[in-house]
A and B are shown apart, each in its own frame.
Chain A
């Protein structure tokens, strides 16, 4: 009951007392009980707490108080966002029993907005991966095809929205970790401008690339969640002092005269032809709606993947050094301190995490720093300049979110390099720090395809306007998996 509805639809039902938050929360918990044993999107479900929070909102509504757009709406967080008193595991053995005594800023802001926290979502360990196969606890399945990965690292976040296990979720995106799973699962995923959303309380993977963003059923929902989480945070020096903006004011169904650039490098080798034709059709839709489309070039794209993997792993090697068994988390028994450090890290981290720590340690080590880390930083500057140049001519750039639709379990996990290459269209955005959104744009063999829109720094508004216009004139976002692979139209719409 109601779990398939969008946040804005649910809000209407709540304020008109057609539905109580308690009923809605119960419905989501039932939904989780019925589908999550198969999907494994959740690592922690907070039934009692969620129902208590829902009762508070219901009381408020009963008192005739005005409730906000997200008030009483059940949602869930990726398990790398700290929740006070609630386990925050990062899907790692290392933090299997870690209960932070503080909230992430996004946790606080969503709580202040009156949302109901249903639980914590599965992910690739420490957000490292593109398939959610690297979780210490479980592999999350794609609701459109249970044999396929949901994408990653925010796989649990995308699946929970796609399979109606939460009204919306938050993910984190270091190299595509919101957009790629959003594309694979057929939901809307926004990676905001670096600095737009506070990272305080987000367990760091690569500090200069990480950004938190919403995964939602619709573009409107996405803007509503951004309204709640974006804005300056004195606890995060890299968050940008800015006036609070209302992203919903950009939700106009009109893109006449909008200039859209198509970076030719994002349609090159490795892009599945079926995916390319879905995106081509999407471009045609936008042209029909009045957009002016032209080709452009981002010449340094081919260096983005190596640069990204050097910078991300370098920062990760340092960020993950604190997991040593001394203060919290997993601790291995050993004869001495050094032995304890080594064994703790050997046993506490999974393969992919260890691989990246080693790569990053190597990239920073003396003698290699200039050749790897420093060069990667230079490439990063060039990539940033590529985008700046493109945005002199275009308002928005457009590409497929991922080169393929969701792949099968195990298909790429044996070949890390092939897995890394699946990030080719998302990674440059993180290096440049600009915003990008993935929206449902079609299907290939029953699997959803995402279209990525990229914008100027802090111009999330134009992305929402473009995405909203596309969404209002297509029906991909209304289609839902029925968990046996068959595509069904969502009843109420």
Chain B
């Protein structure tokens, strides 16, 4: 991004992802979201005296899976470390995390912005435990008379994915984040419910004069939880840093926080007051040794990733745009793929999935996951159109009926008598009637006004409540009038 033709933005991201295990990283407590305060806790995740962590192997499986999907090297030897700092939401006043030997090493993913492809490097991804949550009686911790702590989230497993500072524009950042979230969702490593805080973003931004090769001083803004906050925060921060530089001052290296309401970033702590985390190896957990068989076993469980899916869908005749819309969410992509196994015309199928099906889901404020229409049912409906049993227009109303009743297309067509009239004999009489009742249009048509035939077809469709086979009506009408 070029700011006032003078600066180039450089951005790196740290993304915290809640892994979708059933239990916490070091104890057997549930990771379920919500619940009464402090009901999903035990002595271990509360860090009570004498308690010890026991690593949940599922967390390692998920971390390996995410690492493989992000093209990362999986370390054969990694370990946990303690990150020491005092905060009431931290039960032990240290966080068990990974420091110098993370489970996932170098990797990356490809993004596409304005038709241009670019590789964004991932530095590392490591496992750690989440902290609890402070609940204040007032606006902030300092203005509250009372603050309580909810430790339900303490010990929920996180994967922190750190990118290289390869991002040069807000569009690139958003493309990277969308890609990343998509991959995590596809691999079912995380439910990626941003609104529940299951994915959080830390944004590192710096500016440098165009053409410079060294990095400028960066700020880190922590804990953003939506793509729109990331975009707004970056717009603000880039403009702020540009203002500072334009005024001949230097950007202060610091940690900042995003005020969603005011739309500004604020200093959280400066470099001087930065934490000394006093990392050291967690003595309560043995180092983690991952043999290659373990990794290969997990590699076999990897689903087809969104990028590969897009390539496959385009090969089936879909446009790049359609392929990207279909693969945006895992639920839609899976629905499409399943329907495709029953119905071969990918293009028609894509139109229906992106069009009518999506529209119905959106108007009902539902989601693809709990669509009452199965992929197989949609395929059967499309088959009815192809066989000429119903018209496309009828099919749309049948689909609505399917959505609200859960009935099969065939049953609805039968019950409501919606079958298309393709019987020439039955149509002849209706056509004759329309011709004699609309002599003016007939004359117009014969006088060369082609549009008049549309009116006549419409009248015939109306007379048959839309059930007449439109192709046949056209053909028979033209024969009669010629």
Mark A residues whose CB is within 8 Å of B.
Answer: 80-82, 88, 90, 95, 98, 100-102, 104, 199-204, 206-208, 234-238, 314-315, 317-318, 321-322, 324, 326-328, 336-337, 341, 361, 364-366, 369, 373
The segment from B84-92, B222-230, B232-240 found at the interface with A is B84-92
Residues on B with beta carbons closer than 8 Å to the beta carbon of A336: 142
Q: Flag whether B53 is at the interface (Cβ < 8 A).
A: yes
Q: Which of A98, A236, A314, A322 contacts B93 (CB 8 A)?
A: A322
**A235, B54: Cα distance in complex, Å:** 6
**A361, B93: Cα distance in complex, Å:** 13
Contact A238 B284 (CB under 8 A): yes
Q: Given that A102-B48, A326-B88, A365-B276 are contacting pairs, would A321 and B93 also be in contact in the complex, using a CB cutoff of 8 Å?
A: yes
- Closest chain B residue, CB of each to CB of A340: B88
Distance in angstroms from B58 CB to nearest chain A CB is: 15
Q: Given that A237-B284, A238-B284, A318-B94 are contacting pairs, would A88 and B278 also be in contact in the complex, using a CB cutoff of 8 Å?
A: no
**A315, B93: Cα distance in complex, Å:** 13
Interface residues of B in 85-106 (CB under 8 A from A): 86, 88, 91-94
Contact B49 A82 (CB under 8 A): yes
Distance in angstroms from A406 CB to nearest chain B CB is: 29
Q: Which of B52, B55, B86, B276 contacts A199 (CB 8 A)?
A: B52
Contact B285 A102 (CB under 8 A): no
- Closest chain B residue, CB of each to CB of A364: B278
**A361, B275: Cα distance in complex, Å:** 13
Q: Given that A321-B86, A364-B84 are contacting pairs, would A200 and B52 also be in contact in the complex, using a CB cutoff of 8 Å?
A: yes
Interface residues of B in 42-90 (CB under 8 A from A): 43, 46-55, 82, 84, 86, 88
Q: Which of A80, A237, A321 contacts B286 (CB 8 A)?
A: A237
**A238, B52: Cα distance in complex, Å:** 10
- Closest chain A residue, CB of each to CB of B87: A337
- Closest chain B residue, CB of each to CB of A361: B278
Q: Flag whether B283 is at the interface (Cβ < 8 A).
A: yes
Supply 23 A–B pairs (Cβ within 8 Å), ascending by A. A82-B50, A88-B49, A100-B43, A100-B50, A102-B51, A201-B50, A202-B50, A204-B49, A206-B283, A207-B283, A208-B283, A237-B53, A237-B55, A237-B284, A238-B52, A314-B280, A324-B88, A327-B47, A328-B49, A337-B88, A364-B280, A365-B278, A369-B280
- Closest chain B residue, CB of each to CB of A195: B286
**A327, B151: Cα distance in complex, Å:** 11
Contact B276 A200 (CB under 8 A): no
Contact A102 B43 (CB under 8 A): yes
Q: Flag whether B252 is at the interface (Cβ < 8 A).
A: no
Most buried by A among B47, B54, B86, B149: B86
Contact A324 B93 (CB under 8 A): yes
Distance in angstroms from B302 CB to nearest chain A CB is: 28
Distance in angstroms from B237 CB to nearest chain A CB is: 27
Distance in angstroms from A237 CB to nearest chain B CB is: 5
Q: Flag whether B215 is at the interface (Cβ < 8 A).
A: no
Q: Given that A101-B43, A237-B55, A237-B286 are contacting pairs, would A322 and B92 also be in contact in the complex, using a CB cutoff of 8 Å?
A: yes
Q: Flag whether B141 is at the interface (Cβ < 8 A).
A: yes
Distance in angstroms from B128 CB to nearest chain A CB is: 16
Residues on A with beta carbons closer than 8 Å to the beta carbon of B43: 100-102
Closest 9 CB pairs of A and B: A321-B93, A364-B278, A208-B283, A207-B283, A201-B50, A203-B49, A82-B50, A322-B92, A203-B50
Contact A95 B49 (CB under 8 A): yes
Distance in angstroms from B231 CB to nearest chain A CB is: 33
Beyond the given A238-B285, A322-B93, please list 11 additional residue pairs across the A-B interface where CB-CB is below 8 A.
A81-B50, A82-B49, A100-B48, A200-B52, A206-B283, A237-B52, A238-B284, A318-B84, A321-B92, A322-B47, A361-B278
Residues on B with beta carbons closer than 8 Å to the beta carbon of A365: 276, 278
Work out how many contacts link A and B, with CB atoms closer than 8 A: 101
Most buried by A among B52, B82, B142, B147: B52
Residues on A with beta carbons closer than 8 Å to the beta carbon of B94: 318, 321
Residues on A with beta carbons closer than 8 Å to the beta carbon of B52: 199-200, 235-238
Interface residues of B in 236-278 (CB under 8 A from A): 276, 278
Residues on B with beta carbons closer than 8 Å to the beta carbon of A364: 84, 278-280
Interface of A is mostly: loop
Chain B 28-53, CB-CB to A under 8 Å as 1, else 0, gives: 00000000000000010011111111
Distance in angstroms from B79 CB to nearest chain A CB is: 12
- Closest chain B residue, CB of each to CB of A320: B93
- Closest chain B residue, CB of each to CB of A94: B49
Contact B50 A104 (CB under 8 A): yes
**A308, B475: Cα distance in complex, Å:** 97
Contact B54 A366 (CB under 8 A): no
Contact A321 B84 (CB under 8 A): yes
Residues on B with beta carbons closer than 8 Å to the beta carbon of A321: 84, 86, 92-94
**A236, B52: Cα distance in complex, Å:** 6
Residues on B with beta carbons closer than 8 Å to the beta carbon of A104: 50
**A23, B52: Cα distance in complex, Å:** 38
Distance in angstroms from A374 CB to nearest chain B CB is: 9
**A369, B48: Cα distance in complex, Å:** 28
Q: Which of A207, A234, A318 contacts B278 (CB 8 A)?
A: A318
Distance in angstroms from B21 CB to nearest chain A CB is: 17
**A326, B154: Cα distance in complex, Å:** 15
**A318, B284: Cα distance in complex, Å:** 12
**A237, B93: Cα distance in complex, Å:** 21
Most buried by B among A98, A206, A238, A326: A326
Distance in angstroms from B306 CB to nearest chain A CB is: 37
Most buried by B among A90, A202, A327: A327
Contact A237 B50 (CB under 8 A): no
Contact A90 B49 (CB under 8 A): yes
- Closest chain B residue, CB of each to CB of A367: B276
- Closest chain A residue, CB of each to CB of B92: A322
**A207, B91: Cα distance in complex, Å:** 17
Residues on B with beta carbons closer than 8 Å to the beta carbon of A237: 52-55, 284-286
Distance in angstroms from A349 CB to nearest chain B CB is: 14
Contact A327 B280 (CB under 8 A): no
Contact A326 B149 (CB under 8 A): yes
- Closest chain A residue, CB of each to CB of B280: A364
**A469, B380: Cα distance in complex, Å:** 87
Distance in angstroms from A429 CB to nearest chain B CB is: 17
**A314, B43: Cα distance in complex, Å:** 24
Contact A318 B47 (CB under 8 A): no
Q: Given that A208-B283, A237-B55, A364-B84 are contacting pairs, would A337 and B50 also be in contact in the complex, using a CB cutoff of 8 Å?
A: no
Q: Which of A90, A328, A366 contacts B276 (CB 8 A)?
A: A366
Residues on B with beta carbons closer than 8 Å to the beta carbon of A314: 280
**A101, B55: Cα distance in complex, Å:** 22
Most buried by A among B50, B53, B55: B50
Most buried by A among B53, B94, B149, B284: B284
**A81, B47: Cα distance in complex, Å:** 15
Contact B276 A204 (CB under 8 A): no
Q: Given that A321-B84, A322-B93 are contacting pairs, would A207 and B48 also be in contact in the complex, using a CB cutoff of 8 Å?
A: no
Contact B53 A322 (CB under 8 A): no
Most buried by B among A238, A322, A328, A373: A322
- Closest chain A residue, CB of each to CB of B142: A336
Distance in angstroms from B212 CB to nearest chain A CB is: 29
- Closest chain A residue, CB of each to CB of B149: A326
Distance in angstroms from B230 CB to nearest chain A CB is: 30
- Closest chain B residue, CB of each to CB of A239: B52
- Closest chain B residue, CB of each to CB of A104: B50
Residues on A with beta carbons closer than 8 Å to the beta carbon of B84: 317-318, 321, 364
Residues on A with beta carbons closer than 8 Å to the beta carbon of B280: 314-315, 318, 364, 369, 373
**A82, B284: Cα distance in complex, Å:** 17
Residues on A with beta carbons closer than 8 Å to the beta carbon of B141: 337
**A156, B117: Cα distance in complex, Å:** 71
